[in-house]
Amino acid sequence: MVPLKGKKFAGLLITHYHPDHIGMAGWLQNKLNIKCYTSKKELFTAKTFRAMPDDEYAEIFRNVFVRAGMSEEDIIAKGPATRLYKNRVHELPEFEIIEAGHEIESNEGRWIVRTDSGHSPEHISMLDSSRNLYLSGDFLLPRISPNISDNFFDPLDDRLGGYFKYLNDIQSIGNETKVFPCHDWPFQDGAERAKNLVKHHNHRLSLILNELEKRSITIMDSIEIIFDRKIGDEQMHFAIGEARAHLIHLDVTGQARSHVDERGTVHYKKNS
């Protein structure tokens, strides 16, 4: 924070509930005596995970693995989920809730807030169209595709559908707007990047649909289909979320149908 030493902060805006974004917000509020802002669903999710008892937290992640079709042996080998969220998130600050369309006046211009579903439930980004500047958070990154994860609290929440809506809509910023992401470096060609991300996810959907022509699959099966690399333990829950988000989208849009077996594992087949 040395380059900002001596600067006065007007407030702190948290784009979403993930620990690398909200983790030190409470500490910063106390340190700088500033207001903090986020969206309603992001705050709900952060509060829920942070307050969750250890046994309930572990059970949620066990259910994620069972639902995906992970074997009991692999679940036991992984051990119970640790309190990674609570361990990585400082005491939450007092937040003021903002919604899509909220305007933030700065010394140089005016930012318009938008909220979208995909990487998280109600992610905040901000556009200053008069200066061609866009603060994209984690939704539009220059090199990687943001992880699109399913909703722990609503098994039919089509997060990928929400992300498609965002990607198609954000193309209106064109390729001249300078995009400032929360990861990596500022870039332009935001509209082109959004188009490429649509193609990326459509390709993954087509891979799954091709496999569904041959057989019924689980979420664990689909991980091997859409990822071209071996997924390690640290990344497995992200991969499960990403794979299931694609399967939920196919289910919700009528291209596939799902059923749950006695164990609780979800199986998908092509909708004929």
Which pTM value belongs to this model? 0.94
Q: Give the per-residue pLDDT at 107.
A: 87
Provide the residue ranges of all domains of the chain, joining segments of one domain with +.
2-270
Is there a contact between 148 and 159 (Cβ–Cβ < 8 Å)? yes
Which amino acid is present at 171?
Q
Q: Which CATH superfamily is domain 2-270 in?
A: Ribonuclease Z/Hydroxyacylglutathione hydrolase-like (3.60.15.10)
Please provide the DSSP assignment of 234-256 as one string. HHHHHHHHHHHHHHHHHHHTTSE
Exposed/middle/buried for residue 181 (C-beta within 10 Å: 0-12, 13-18, 19+): buried
Q: Give the per-residue pLDDT at 230.
A: 86
115-127 pLDDT tens trace: 999 999 999 999 9
Counting as low any pLDDT under 70, the low residues of the chain are: 1-3, 80-83
Q: Round to whole Å and give the CA distance between 39 and 172.
A: 23
Q: Give the per-residue pLDDT at 252.
A: 96
**Residue 218, phi-psi category: left (phi > 0), alpha (psi -120 to 50), beta (remainder):** beta
Q: Give the per-residue pLDDT at 222.
A: 97
